[in-house]
A and B are shown apart, each in its own frame.
Chain A
Amino acid sequence: MKATKFWIAAASTVATAGMIGAAIAQTVTPPTPTTDPSVNVGGQGSTQATIDKGPSASTGETMAQAQTGSSSSDSASSGSTAAEAPVAQADRG
């Protein structure tokens, strides 16, 4: 009987220690960044994901409607190095 009480007390102690540890750790866990640095998306809380090109005037799209989600350009250029355009082309002066 004494042994049973001993083990119950021991088990309770371990459980309590685990929960206290978890609570302490939670208070010092670093905050989650608002954006994942590896994925270029819009700022947190945006109703509209950011876009990487202007809208089409002919379709009458507004920029908010033009695209949603991370763009292919964003995905392709994730990281710290610049994305490279495929080939030289004429620009608009």
Chain B
Amino acid sequence: MSTTFRWGLVAIAAIAAMALPPAVVLIRGATAGTAPPPAPISADFGETEASAQAIRLAGWVARSRDNAGAQFIVIDKQRAHIYVFDGRARLRADSPVLIGAAPGDDTAPGVGQRPLAEVRFDERTTPAGRFVAETGRNLRGEDVLWVSYADAVSIHPVLLNNPDEQRLERLATPTVEDNRVSYGCINVPTEFFETSLRPLLTVRTIVYVLPETRPLEQVFGMRA
């Protein structure tokens, strides 16, 4: 009897050791883990109009959680417009912008290290892509949001040091063709920068610059 009893205990212990641990792990994962909220199926632009390309990209970010919960910015070069979203893909602010004078989605090698006077017109592009923004300052002493520090492309308040460029006037017009004036940086109205972008300088922000010469899929690796 005692031998049977001992064998019985051994058998139960062996079976329990095999069967129970997976159950305990799964139960722990189910109860102690924090289930993330479901990803939104599209970005919320509210009443704001946007291009099909911007809506598609922002929706993809929302569904794929490509932003990993971070606030994100969409720059639509073809509409010369900036859209600022919170981490749940809800539009928080938008504004016209000034962008690089030359069309194109690439950055010429080394252009970020050259004086502006040495940058050819065709090199004055605002590169397309996905960028993890960095905060910092430019040599004018301004706080900026670096889109690509290596390429010296930033988002900053509209530059007014050359009146001949009429940057404020260009921002004010409803047309987009005249918004191409910079050497690659993205200029926003000063008030917009202070109210909508300065708060982003302390938090992780992803910047998506829409392409104008390539499909979205190629630039962002989108599938859905």
Contact = CB atoms under 8 A, between A and B. Distances in A.
A15 B221 contact: no
A85 B134 contact: yes
Interface string B1-26: 10011011001100110111011001
B interface residue count range (under 10 / 10 to 19 / 20 to 34 / 35 or more): 35 or more
Nearest to B200: A82
Interface in B39-77: 39, 60-61, 63-66, 68-70
Interface string A73-93: 110010111111111111111
Q: Is the interface of B mostly helix, strand, loop or mixed?
A: mixed
A93 B139 CA distance: 11
B202 interface: yes
Interface stretch (B78-86, B89-97, B107-115, B171-179): B107-115
Interface string B166-204: 000000000000000011110100000000000011111
B223 A45 contact: yes
B185 A92 contact: yes
A51 B151 CA distance: 14
Interface of A: 3-4, 6-8, 10-11, 14-15, 17-19, 21-22, 25-26, 28-31, 33-37, 39-40, 42-59, 62-64, 71, 73-74, 77, 79-93
B163 interface: no
Give the 6 A-B residue pairs with the shortest CB-CB distance, closest first. A18-B19, A54-B127, A43-B64, A85-B136, A7-B8, A48-B221
A64 B218 contact: yes
**Looking at B39, B61, B111, B220, which has the most chain A CB atoms within 10 Å of its CB?**
B220
B143 to A, nearest CB: 10
8 contacts: A4-B8, A25-B26, A35-B64, A52-B132, A53-B151, A82-B204, A90-B115, A92-B153
Nearest to A67: B129
B68 A35 contact: yes
Contact of B156 (A19, A83, A91): A91
Given A14-B15, A57-B106, A92-B116, A52 B139 contact: no
Contacts of A63: 105, 128-129, 211, 214, 218-219
Nearest to A38: B68
Nearest to A85: B136
A35 B64 CA distance: 8
Given A52-B132, A82-B204, 17 more contacts: A11-B12, A14-B15, A15-B19, A33-B65, A42-B221, A45-B223, A49-B221, A50-B220, A54-B148, A54-B151, A82-B133, A83-B135, A90-B116, A91-B153, A92-B112, A92-B124, A93-B183
